Amino acid sequence: MAADNKNRTSVSEMIEQQKRKRKFFNQLERMIPGLLLIIASISVLTTIGIIYTLFAESVAFFRNVPILDFFTGTVLKPLSQNPEFGVLPLLNGTIISTVIAMLVAGPIGMMSAIYLSEYAPDNVRRVIKPLLEILAGVPTIVYGFFAFTFVTPLLRMIFPSIEATNILSPGIIMGVMIIPMIASLSEDAMSSVPNSMREGALALGSTKLETTFKVVIPAALSGIIASFVLGISRAIGETMIVAIASGSSKNFSFDITGSMQTMTAYIVEVAGGEAAAGTTIYYSLYAVALTLFVFTLIMNLLAKYISRKFREEY
């Protein structure tokens, strides 16, 4: 009898423990959605905070500088006795450096992706792709000094009139830096195309090259466009390479052999202590940053529209 009572007590205790565990896990389960919502909201709240800061500080700048003069002015002299704040020289330098970078990264990255996806054997792909992606791990300040100390002297041997700081050299090196991004993402998009599509094209008499350009690339166009958009965004937002190798001349010029300044390089210059907090020059930092933000946002929205327009469902 005593043994039976002891067994019943043990079973009751086990049942009670299971109930307590189940209650604890049920409470934890109810807490998980809220916790995940808080974690997911961090990035959204951070973005809202950035946008609020940019707009709030930019308003202080536009109280002193007419918005029309800022966006249409071709002269930027923030430290002169009669300062002028035209953003077009910075916008011009940013666009030119980005175009140069994409002229380098686009063809090389795309051809690399085609080779890795369609032509390279598996053992070669496993070696070449990681080696290519090593470029993405090199610090940008290293790229900047490489552009300034190696590429620019090399370019001066070809073009003697090129300045010591110019927009061509950092543009080329930015392109080299972006190659792994375009090559890797484009190769992933092309590799995801079903082999049945390739086999069908080859069965109809297409060559390997025709299959690649007429079947695989159109099918992977959405991913390829995304890789180019990320590359462009990377070039627009690059700071250290242009800050070191492109100089700080705020010239509204299309001469790629001359010194220019991009929006990011200007932000570095102002944030580095050139202007006291609360001055018009200081607030111009936020106006330029807001311009960069809007410029990138419009480009990304346009890219998403193009990507959606040409996306094919398979």
pLDDT tens column, 254-284: 888 888 888 988 888 887 766 677 788 888 8
Q: Domains in the chain: how many in total?
A: 1
Residue 49 lies in a domain: no
Sign of the alpha-carbon dihedral angle for 78, 80, 83, 88:
negative
Residue 203 lies in a domain: yes
Residue 26 lies in a domain: no
Model confidence band, residue 314 (pLDDT cutoffs 50, 70, 90): very low
Residue 7 lies in a domain: no
Tokens of 304: 């998403």
46 exposed, middle or buried (CB, 10 Å; 0-12, 13-18, 19+)? exposed
Rg from Cα positions in the chain: 28
Contact predicate 116/128, CB 8 Å:
yes
CATH (domain of 91): 1.10.3720.10
Q: Which domain holds residue 86?
A: 76-309
Residue 9 pLDDT > 70:
no
Query: Which whole number is the average pLDDT over 128-150?
Result: 86
Query: Which whole number is the average pLDDT over 70-94?
Result: 85
Residue 67 lies in a domain: no
Name the average pLDDT for the chain. 83
Residue 18 pLDDT > 50:
yes
Query: Which whole number is the average pLDDT over 25-32?
Result: 76
Model confidence band, residue 170 (pLDDT cutoffs 50, 70, 90): very high
Instruction: Return d(Cα 210, Cα 232) in angstroms, integer.
Output: 28
Identity of residue 301: L
Residue 132 lies in a domain: yes
Residue 161 pLDDT > 80:
yes
DSSP count for the chain of H helices, then E strands: 14, 2
Predicted pLDDT of residue 169: 92
Predicted pLDDT of residue 229: 87
Long-range contacts of 143-151 (CB under 8 A, 24+ apart): 143/173, 143/174, 143/176, 143/177, 143/240, 143/241, 144/170, 144/173, 144/240, 144/241, 144/242, 144/243, 144/244, 144/245, 145/244, 146/173, 147/172, 147/173, 147/241, 147/244, 147/245, 148/244, 148/245, 151/245
**Which of 118-122, 170-174, 267-271 has the highest average model confidence (pLDDT)?**
170-174
Query: Which whole number is the average pLDDT over 205-226?
Result: 85
Residue 42 pLDDT > 70:
yes
Contact predicate 307/226, CB 8 Å:
yes
Query: Which whole number is the average pLDDT over 4-26?
Result: 67
Model confidence band, residue 171 (pLDDT cutoffs 50, 70, 90): very high
Residue 150 pLDDT > 60:
yes
Sign of the alpha-carbon dihedral angle for 68, 73, 78, 80:
negative
Predicted pLDDT of residue 11: 62
